[in-house]
Amino acid sequence: MSHKVFVIGLGLIGGSIALAIKREHTDIEIIGFDVHHEQVRMASSLHIIDSQAVSIKDGAEEADTIIISAPVTQTEKIIEQLVTYNLKPSVIVTDVGSTKQRVVEKAEGLISRGITFIGGHPMAGSHKSGAVAARAHLFENAFYIFTPSEETPREKVDSLQNLLKGTKATFVEMSPHEHDTIAGAISHFPHIVAAGLVHQVADLENQFPSVFNLAAGGFRDITRIASGSPIMWRDILLHNKDTMLHLIEKWQTEMNNVKEMITHLDSDGIYNYFEKAKSYRDDLPQKQRGALPSLYDLYVDVPDHPGAISDVTGILAQAKISITNIRIIEVREDIFGVLRLSFRNEADREKANVVLKDQNYDTYEMT
C-alpha cells in the first residue's frame, strides 16, 4: 500500500510541495483539496495531484501525511476540524504558515489525541500564484523551518524531512517563539516599513503630483514587498502580534536616535550609523535564499535603436534561458538605455551573463 499525502490548499506553495514530493518519491499518492474547485481542476490536469478529495474529512482520514497549505487563519480552522476526524494514529500533520506560535498552540488539540503535529515554514515564494505557477524547484536552496516540540519523536521529524527532501531545501529546526521572532524581524516587519514608505510618498502626491512618476524607479524597487497580499499580511501581523509590537517600539527608538543625530548635526554619528549598516549588510550571505523572495536581476546596457531589445531576448532564447520579467529602466536618445532582466534562479542569471558578454553586451548585477 502506497504512502498517501493529503495536501490541503493547491496554490503556489501546496502545489510546489506536491511536485517536489512526486519527483523524489514516485510511489507516493498525492491527494488534493482546495476550496476553489478551479485550483483542484488545474492541479489535476497538471498532474500535481493523483486524486481529489471531496472534503477535508475524506482526504484526511485516509492520509499518512497531511500538509496544510493555507493562510494562517484558515490553518487554525482546519486544525480545529482535524481534531474531530478519525485520523490514522500514525499520521503526521504539518503546515506551511509564516507564523508558528499560535498554530502550534492550536495543534495541541491534535497532540493531546496522540497525533503528531510538526509546524513548518518553507521560506520561498514567487510573484506568481495558483497551481499553474507551482514548480518542483521552488524551494531549492531555500530554508525550510520546522518547529517540532520537545516531545515530538525524532523518527517523526526525520520521516517528514525525508518525505520533503525533493524540495532540495535546507532544513532548520527551532522553537515556534524563535521562528516568529526571527521571521518578524527579517520578513514581517520589513513589509510594514515598505508599506509605510509607500503611504508617506502617497501622502505627498496632492502637494507634489510629480512624485508619482519620480517614484517609479528605485523607490518602486525597494518597496516591492508592499505589493504583497493585504489579506495575508493582515493575518500574519495579527498572528505575530507581540513580536510586531516589540519591533515597532524598537524601530521608533531607532528612528528617534537618527532624529537626534540629525537635529544636533552629529556628522560622525550619522556616518558611523550608515557605515555600520553597510558593513553588516555587505557581509550577509549572497548565495543563500532567505525569508524574503530573492531578486535574480541582470542589468544590460543597450543602444537606443529599433530591435535592440529583441536582439537581447533572441540571444537568451537561443541559449534556452527563460526570462521571468523584463523592464526598460532608462531609454534616452543617443545614449545607452538599461534593461533589467529578471530570472527564476541564480544559475539562469549567471548563464545569461556569460552569453550576453560573449555578444559584447555590458552587463552588471546590483549587490
* Residue range(s) of every CATH 3.40.50.720 domain in the chain: 4-174
* Stretch (H or E) spanning 155: helix 154-163
In percent, the amount of the chain with pLDDT more than 70 equals: 92
Residue 82 pLDDT exceeds 70: yes
Query: What are the tens digits of pLDDT across the range 238-268?
Result: 999 999 999 999 999 999 999 999 999 999 9
Higher pLDDT, 191 or 341: 191
pLDDT at 13: 93
How far is Cα 356 from Cα 40, in angstroms, rounded to an integer?
A: 41
Residue 349's pLDDT is: 86
Give mean pLDDT, residues 203-211.
90
Rounded mean pLDDT, 292-298? 66
Give me the pLDDT at residue 27, please: 93
pLDDT band, residue 79 (cuts 50/70/90): very high
pLDDT band at 332 (very low <50, low <70, confident <90, very high): very low
Q: Which run of H or E residues covers position 92? A: strand 92-95
Q: What is the pLDDT of residue 333?
A: 39
129 vs 268, more confident: 268
Give the position of cell 508617506.
200
Specify the pLDDT at position 10.
94
- Mean pLDDT for 327-333 is 52
Scan for cell 541582470, then name that residue.
298
Long-range contacts from 174-181, C-beta under 8 angstroms, 24+ separation: 174/145, 174/146, 174/147, 175/147, 176/100, 176/101, 176/103, 176/104, 176/119, 176/147, 177/101, 179/99, 179/100, 179/101, 179/119, 179/121, 179/145, 179/147, 180/99, 180/100, 180/101, 180/240, 180/243, 181/243
Q: Residue 191: its pLDDT value, please?
A: 93
Mean pLDDT, the chain, integer: 88
Q: Is the pLDDT of residue 126 over 90?
A: no
* Residue range 297-364, CATH number: 3.30.2130.10
Q: Which pLDDT does position 334 carry in this prediction?
A: 40
Task: List where CATH 1.10.3660.10 sits in the chain.
Answer: 179-282
Q: Is the model more confident about 146 or about 139?
A: 146
Residue 290 has pLDDT above 70, yes or no: no
CATH superfamily of 179-282: 6-phosphogluconate dehydrogenase C-terminal like domain (1.10.3660.10)
- pLDDT score, position 302: 75
In this predicted structure, the answer to whether residue 31 has a pLDDT above a threshold of 50 is yes
CATH 3.30.2130.10 in the chain: give the residue spans: 297-364
Domain 4-174 has CATH 3.40.960.10: no
